[in-house]
Structure 1
Amino acid sequence: MADSLEELDEVLYEPSDEFVDGSNVSAFMQEHDIADFDELHERTVSEVDGEPASGLDWFWDEVVDYLDLEFYEDYDQVRDDTDGPQFTDWYVGGELNIAHNVVDRHAAPDSGNRNKVATIWEGEDGEVREITYHELHQQTNRVANALEERGIGTGDTVGLYMPMVPEIVPLLYGCFKVGAIAVPIFSGFGVDATATRISDAECTVLFTGDGFYRRGSAVDLKSAADEAIEEAGHVEHTIVYNRLDSEESDLSWDDDRDEWWADAVGTQSDEYETKSVPSDQESMLLYSSGTTGKPKGIVHTHAGGLVQPAKEIFFSFDHKPSDRFFWVSDIGWMMGPWTLIGNHAHGGTIFIYEGAPDHPEPDRFWEMIDDHGLTTFGISPTAIRALQKHGDEWLEDYDLSTLRLLGSTGEPWDPDSWKWFLENVGQGTAPIMNISGGTEIFGCFLQPTPLHSLKPGTLGGPALGMDIDIVDAQGNSIAEDNEKGYLVCKSSAPSMTKSLWSGDERYLEEYWSRFDDLWDHGDWAQKDEDGFWFLHGRSDDVLNVAGRKVGPAEVEGALIEHDAVNAAVAIGADDETKGTAVVTYVILNEGYEEADDLREELRAQVGEELGKPFRPREVLFVDEFPKTQSGKIVRRIIQGVYEGEELGDLSSIENPDAIDDIDDAR
């Protein structure tokens, strides 16, 4: 991956005057008599002399009205940061529901969107289904009634360990309707990772499927769900979507717990009155891995979970009524719910695909863009690198001219792949909206708009209403010095997690402990002399594999469960395809010997427990790890040895000979 700004210093995309003038952000600026984007951003985060209302309070109030987002009860105050930015309350005193804004109002008899297509779905086998807002409303109400029948109400958690079928949309929105907390879980997770999330969230209802299709083969999901439930406990009702036309005799089945979707949901009434809930009522519990300990349960609210993605889809992705929006993501990752809520808030149409990007051939995405007239296409740099390897000829038979904007997130770009995406997929006219925020933000700290020129890999600059800076180790701003530093946020935003499910202590430690009253996002950032912002990877130890985060502790825990493993360390290494690959070092228990078969067993075990993307690229055997006198393993030393870097001060290492052992293992 490119780290120097010299490699990224050429402007390769300039928006046309027509594109700029027709953009939503330009119209907003004109309405408020604002001359350029820098002035607009300043207005959204800073108090302006002579303005009766300005800064964060002005913008986050104005955007609700401008985007026509509806509250059941008006809020008394936009924000209350009496207890500091760490515990800001947003839209104080208001009541709303995400489901009303993304489904109910668009399905109303007098709405122009009632018979508009809300969701287009294509299965890997080529099956296509379209669902209108009226149909989505009926399905969502059936889910809500099914949940209430099983005792689910406001504040209860519901697990979503689902294949990518159209029913994920009414399922998510049905949870919102009853005031429940949706807990999306990546369908590619193995048993251990799934069980950890079910256990932590204490889900009593879990939605899953019999399986799904991947590269032409049926993948079993139900057995993984059953094993996770057995390990986690809590689950009293499992509702199973029949994607593979399975019979109960084909599956492990508990008559006291398991029900088919058709029986549990399909038989319900299609009428339901959506609950009005407080602005700060929890809507989703999204999990993200930390550097140590179990995954973090990130808490999002109805107000923040609606306003932020609606704002970003409208201004950065320039939502138009005719758009068809496709972002390659599982419902279990933040981008899944973000895509749904952000587009459906405006009565938009989203596209969902079930399967692999290269099945049956590497042109599957290009074929779907052509067939369905898709206008916005978001994908990870890793996936683009993989498709780029197949060659340009796979795009030649398809008309991609409907694409207005491209999107990416999750990891840094290399210049060559960025250019290929822009020129071959976007045909040089569709800008790459490279965005960065994360699960904790349910939105973006950094993102371009249609007004921005672009250099390869740039993220444009701070998003509207996001008070972002780059600081040194002492917390001093260095953004204008064009130096690499820590990406921080100086104020709260509506969608920032209001805490962690496990409590405030870990929340404060994870995000607010490095600097006083600054949110530390864990990324290295840099602003160049021309004002373009870039990211340079994580400043913490989270492993970002193909845009999906996993904590070293989770990988290490999966390895240690094997009888042969005494101790393990996981690090990240640069990888041409994934961006970051997992590399592990393992100390074996007595009686076990290093062997290729054992190495493959350990790789497979991590894949089974955490999901295939997290299988280690390498498993290296050693006799000991470098440790401090207190017994703490020094991962930076292991990382440095693997990458061939200067190791710096080793005075704290109790057993320096272990460094040679690490070096010899490669």
Structure 2
Amino acid sequence: MTEETLSNLLHEERRFEPPAAVAEHANLKAEAYERAAADPEAFWAEQAGRLDWAQSWDQVLDWSDPPFAKWFVGGRLNASYNCVDRHVEAGRGDKVALHWVGEPVEDKRDITYAQLKDEVSRAANALTELGVGTGDRVAIYLPMIPEAVVAMLACARIGAPHTVVFGGFSADALASRLEDCQAKVVITSDGGYRRGSASALKPAVDEGRAKAAELGHTVEKVLVVRRTGQDVAWDDEVDVWWHDVVDSASAEHTPEAFDSEHPLYVMYTSGTTGKPKGILHTTGGYLTGASYTHWAVFDLKPDTDVYWCSADIGWVTGHSYMVYGPLANGATQVMYEGTPDSPERGRWWKIIEDYGVTIFYTAPTAIRSFMKQGREIPDRYDMSSLRILGSVGEPINPEAYVWYREVIGGGRTPVVDTWWQTETGSIMISPLPGVTHGKPGSAMTPIPGVGAEVVNDAGEPVPNGSGGYLVLTQPWPSMLRTIWGDDQRFKDTYWSRFKEQRYYFAGDGAKKDEDGDIWVLGRVDDVMNVSGHRLSTTEIESALVSHPKVAEAAVVGAKDEDTGQAVCAFVILRESALDSGGGDGGDDIVAELRQHVRKEIGPIATPRQIMIVPELPKTRSGKIMRRLLKDVAEHREVGDVTTLADSSVMDLISKGLGSGTAEG
């Protein structure tokens, strides 16, 4: 990537000032940036002080053996105690911790902090009875039910690192994770509800356990929650019902304080080699980062806010901003089991109305799917309780940002567009809603305490208006400590490119605009080379989404004899455009969209092909699988589709290639 990268592209003039009421009562004020920059360790010590420590630390940061960091050295604490017990001891036991909403509309539970403490204690005692001890790994393969939160906190309580595997992953994916972290116990359920029907989970665990055994690892016990009542195969030697062992266990349990660097969890993320990477997070630094950022970035007022993060606990967002961050902060939050459109398209908005949600955090892919449906559906609901909106996952297109702010937020709510990763553990770059003005599409600046920069190949900061590599320039408490069982891969993957500067780099490109604000552009791999010009798929996608007829777009670079690579776009139209007859993929709409990109960015970015499609290939976490679209654009056999939420999408796209593609 060169300095000229992306320097001439999208120009955003819109600005949204912080609302006066938010600015006046903001948890963090503008002075925090300078205070954190002047003495980062003192700043982070202050944030760690928001937690309860059984023993204080001797040293804030040990960076003597980079890239291996140790934070709050000598300190001891328990993550579960910080998430439940301390709130009960402070007299807030009757406060609701979780408003749980099942996908079947009649399924609802309100769980107070006192009730959560008792349930976590029972689960901790039950796991101990099943032979789980400090340091043993426990795999969690559950739907979005309260027992998932209980299981995580019970593991943390007894010092057993957990690895949560998303409930949509296959038996093969589960087996590789069970084997890699040598899980002793798996916690699962008979099934969960998704799109109106019960979907089984335990069969995948049975198959995954068998495959792990073939790899040489034996899972000793499987703890099963009864959720759907489906019949399940049963092995009395291994399988145990949750209601048999947890419900009968004692609610008395004294949590043990563990070293700040004691492993809290391993979260697997996809690796380029095909072997998943087990990202290791430890206790003190991670909990400090998750609780501080949740409080600061969302301006959390725990006494009055009702918070909702729509992420699944199988992803890091669910860990940091649905379990550890909110509960450490004593928040009241919503937890929803199902999909946004079941049993009706307005389900999310009804939940916001019913529970008076004040802070809502979701992904751009969800926002764009709602844009596609039109504003008539959300307009039926009263969402005036909302005061802060958040975006997480991939960069949010400016038009999706504005739609989210105007339609869901009523034109009055700040949007915090957050950049972070599984590896960073907590938010690194984001506006602060009471301090920073909003700029659609830009993650803005690193939050207080975090150092981030956009650099060139030599590791030097690029000037404003230029693009390069996004790096983190200094250690932060919630940083990953290593890749489970593979220190060398940890060094090679994240620290080798800018080893001399000791910069962390995980593969994202970015640009600084004329104000010096950061625009994250996605993976460096998603940058195309068209006639020697480096173009970002993200910016061309944003140009397409800014057209009033477009709901979503994905862009790939396909081989081209003349230009090296050519821009190929796959576009989903808004339902309003389909209703008006523009959805046939005909020449008129394609020509209109090509001209629109040409006007927004320039002739060099004009797509060679635009294909109107009904859906895009997405993983279950909402990320677009561009490599599969590249296979289609280059007329290759489509690759592995097992990680897609809906594998039939690729058949629809491939079938439409002849009729729905326009050449330019």
Query: TM-score interval w.r.t. the shorter chain?
Result: 0.7 to 0.9
How far apart are 1:3 and its partner, in Å? Answer: 6.8
Residue 87 in 1 paired to residue 68 in 2?
yes
1:43 alignment partner, one of 16, 35, 40: 35
User: Distance in 2 between the 1:120 and 1:417 partners?
Assistant: 28
- Decide which moves more: 284-293 or 156-165: 284-293
The residue that corresponds to 1:275 in the other structure is 256
Q: Equivalent residue of 1:82, what SS? A: strand
How far apart are 1:644 and its partner, in Å? Answer: 11
The residue that corresponds to 1:242 in the other structure is 226
Residue 467 in 1 paired to residue 469 in 2?
no
1:197 alignment partner, one of 148, 172, 177: 177
How far apart are 1:614 and its partner, in Å? Answer: 6.8
Alpha-carbon contact 1:574-1:580 (below 8 Å) kept: no
The residue that corresponds to 1:486 in the other structure is 469
Match runs of 1:41-190 below 5 Å: 41-45=33-37, 48=38, 55-65=39-49, 67=50, 69-84=51-66, 86-108=67-89, 111-126=90-105, 127-190=107-170
Instruction: Name the CA shift for 1:144/1:614 in 2 (closer, same or farther; >3 Å).
Output: farther
The residue that corresponds to 1:408 in the other structure is 391
One-letter amino acid matched to 2:625: A
The residue that corresponds to 2:592 in the other structure is none
User: Distance in 1 between the 2:204 and 2:141 partners?
Assistant: 10
The residue that corresponds to 1:229 in the other structure is 209
C-alpha deviations, 1:266-324, integer Å up to 9, x for none? Answer: 11111111011000000010111122231100000111221001111111100102111
One-letter amino acid matched to 1:40: A
1:331 alignment partner, one of 296, 313, 336: 313
Residue 522 in 1 paired to residue 507 in 2?
yes
Match runs of 1:251-650 below 5 Å: 251-320=232-301, 321-339=303-321, 340-450=323-433, 451-478=435-462, 480-516=463-499, 517-540=502-525, 578=618, 580-584=624-628, 606-607=641-642, 610-612=643-645, 617=650
User: Distance in 2 between the 1:575 and 1:507 partners?
Assistant: 37
One-letter amino acid matched to 2:349: W
Q: Equivalent residue of 2:307, what SS? A: strand
Q: Equivalent residue of 1:24, what SS? A: coil
Instruction: Name the CA shift for 1:540/1:235 in 2 (closer, same or farther; >3 Å).
Output: farther
One-letter amino acid matched to 2:122: R
Unaligned runs of at least 5 residues, structure 2: 528-536, 539-567, 573-615, 655-660
The residue that corresponds to 1:17 in the other structure is 20
User: Distance in 2 between the 1:349 and 1:644 partners?
Assistant: 53
One-letter amino acid matched to 1:105: R
Alpha-carbon contact 1:8-1:415 (below 8 Å) kept: no
The residue that corresponds to 1:631 in the other structure is none
Instruction: Name the CA shift for 1:237/1:489 in 2 (closer, same or farther; >3 Å).
Output: same
Alpha-carbon contact 2:137-2:162 (below 8 Å) kept: yes
User: Distance in 1 between the 2:248 and 2:466 partners?
Assistant: 60
User: Distance in 2 between the 1:391 and 1:163 partners?
Assistant: 29
User: Distance in 2 between the 1:136 and 1:114 partners?
Assistant: 9
Instruction: Name the CA shift for 1:8/1:232 in 2 (closer, same or farther; >3 Å).
Output: farther
C-alpha deviations, 1:631-651, integer Å up to 9, x for none? Answer: xxxxxxxxxxx9999xxxxxx
- Decide which moves more: 94-103 or 226-235: 226-235
Instruction: Name the CA shift for 1:422/1:194 in 2 (closer, same or farther; >3 Å).
Output: same
User: Distance in 1 between the 2:56 and 2:524 partners?
Assistant: 40
The residue that corresponds to 2:531 in the other structure is none
Alpha-carbon contact 1:406-1:431 (below 8 Å) kept: yes
User: Distance in 1 between the 2:240 and 2:626 partners?
Assistant: 38
Q: Equivalent residue of 1:291, what SS? A: coil
Alpha-carbon contact 1:584-1:620 (below 8 Å) kept: no
C-alpha deviations, 1:202-245, integer Å up to 9, x for none? Answer: 11100011111111111111111111111113211101111112
Q: Equivalent residue of 1:393, what SS? A: coil
One-letter amino acid matched to 2:147: E
User: Distance in 2 between the 1:274 and 1:140 partners?
Assistant: 10
One-letter amino acid matched to 2:203: S
C-alpha deviations, 1:579-614, integer Å up to 9, x for none? Answer: 623444999xxxxxxxx9x98xx88x733xx35257
User: Distance in 2 between the 1:398 and 1:425 partners?
Assistant: 10
Alpha-carbon contact 2:100-2:334 (below 8 Å) kept: yes
Alpha-carbon contact 2:7-2:467 (below 8 Å) kept: no
Instruction: Name the CA shift for 1:575/1:514 in 2 (closer, same or farther; >3 Å).
Output: farther
User: Distance in 2 between the 1:105 and 1:535 partners?
Assistant: 38
State the identity as a percent.
38
Q: Equivalent residue of 2:291, what SS? A: helix
Instruction: Name the CA shift for 1:231/1:94 in 2 (closer, same or farther; >3 Å).
Output: same
Unaligned runs of at least 5 residues, structure 1: 27-36, 49-54, 547-571, 588-595, 622-641, 646-666
Instruction: Name the CA shift for 1:223/1:541 in 2 (closer, same or farther; >3 Å).
Output: farther
Q: Equivalent residue of 1:156, what SS? A: coil
The residue that corresponds to 2:541 in the other structure is none
Alpha-carbon contact 2:350-2:381 (below 8 Å) kept: yes
One-letter amino acid matched to 1:283: L
Instruction: Name the CA shift for 1:573/1:136 in 2 (closer, same or farther; >3 Å).
Output: farther
User: Distance in 1 between the 2:82 and 2:369 partners?
Assistant: 37
Instruction: Name the CA shift for 1:223/1:186 in 2 (closer, same or farther; >3 Å).
Output: same
How far apart are 1:4 and its partner, in Å? Answer: 7.3
User: Distance in 1 between the 2:195 and 2:424 partners?
Assistant: 33
Runs of 4+ deviating beyond 4 Å: 2-6, 572-579, 582-587, 613-616, 618-621, 642-645
Alpha-carbon contact 1:585-1:619 (below 8 Å) kept: no
Normalising to structure 1: TM-score of the pair?
A: 0.79
Instruction: Name the CA shift for 1:227/1:403 in 2 (closer, same or farther; >3 Å).
Output: same
Alpha-carbon contact 2:464-2:516 (below 8 Å) kept: no
User: Distance in 2 between the 1:87 and 1:505 partners?
Assistant: 11
How far apart are 1:452 and its partner, in Å? Answer: 1.1
Q: Equivalent residue of 2:91, what SS? A: coil
How far apart are 1:463 and its partner, in Å? Answer: 1.6
Alpha-carbon contact 2:396-2:417 (below 8 Å) kept: no
Q: Equivalent residue of 2:83, what SS? A: helix
Aligned residue pairs, count: 556
Instruction: Name the CA shift for 1:454/1:620 in 2 (closer, same or farther; >3 Å).
Output: closer
Normalising to structure 2: TM-score of the pair?
A: 0.79
